[in-house]
Amino acid sequence: MIRHLSLKAYGKINLGLDVLRKREDGYHDVRMIMQTVRIYDHIEIDLRREPGITLSTNLFYLPVNENNLVYKAAKLLMDEFGITQGVSIRLKKIIPVAAGMAGGSSDAAAVLFGINKMFHLGLSQQELMTRGVKLGADVPYCVMRGTALSEGIGEILTPLPPPPHCKVLIAKPGISVSTKAVYEHLHANELKPDQHPDIDGIIRAIRAQDLADMCCKMGNVLETVTLRQHPVIRSIRDFMMEHGADGAIMSGSGPTVFGLYSDPDAARKTYEQFHYGSSSELAKQVFLTEFFNNKNHFTQGENQ
């Protein structure tokens, strides 16, 4: 039995996000292009003799009980398999919180992976994904990772080839956005045809390895809600486009904005502008990173 695991939980962005309709059950049917990026939270899991789950984090405002997806993920598998030993989980958050980057879902996915490995439960990736949807619509994708078309409520996943290489500049303003509130204000059944991004066009551009075409077709229908409520998101997006980005849109329900750069020097200069220049007041958290498509991405080290 493994006594210690050190895990990486990677964030994601949406190269395209379309909402097709609101369903009678209150959920929304979506079509999204999901992409993992090289920004990750650190998770340490240690085996304990005492039963139960203890959770600690580096952010004082995050819950450390059953209201945290990390706790829920561990409890889900430990209850199902009748695990009587306990675990101690330490979560170090790097991915911005409530930012449209699936940080909480990714943390939950990493813990599902970790508990499965620690206790030799033998669950396949697909079996972990099936359990993950009970925790949240993004969790199955966060188990799989890479580049994927996401449909249904987010649980129907089709792997795609990695997109063209580029630099990814990520900027989150000093606000948080409720995904639930954004969807509540989205009138999905009243959207005009030109408000829907070209998801199929993005997929064709990815397959053709055409970064310029992919960037031209990127879009996020949730911007119709969030940009009206938070103009700073538009300001960040416009700043990136004015400073060399091939394309820039909001990720998820926001407020994080990402820009894709074929020119690494332009990406670096814009990153520095967000930190030290005239736009330093726009964003509170800024990262310069890349796409991540390594399937063996969770474990960074373990001790037996």
CA gyration radius, the chain: 19
Token look-up 């993920």 returns 73
Structure tokens at 182: 């954004």
- The half-sphere exposure of 265 on its side-chain side, counting CA atoms within 13 A, is 0
Residue from 12, 117, 172, 217 carrying the catalytic annotation = 12
Structure tokens at 106: 């990714």
What is the rounded CA–CA span in Å between residue 218 and residue 43? 32
Structure tokens at 163: 């997109």
Cis preceding linkage at 193, omega within 30 = no
Structure tokens at 45: 């899991």
Q: Known catalytic residue: 138?
A: yes
Reference 184, options 15, 76, 298, 28; nearest CA is: 28
DSSP, collapsed to helix, strand or coil, labels residue 80 as helix
Structure tokens at 304: 């037996």
Residue from 72, 138, 172, 246 carrying the catalytic annotation = 138
Sign of CA dihedral 120, 121, 127, 130: negative
Structure tokens at 118: 């620690």
Q: 164 near 211, Cβ under 8 Å?
A: yes
What is the rounded CA–CA span in Å between residue 88 and residue 72? 13
The amino acid at residue 144 is M
Q: Known catalytic residue: 29?
A: no
So which residues are the catalytic ones?
12, 138
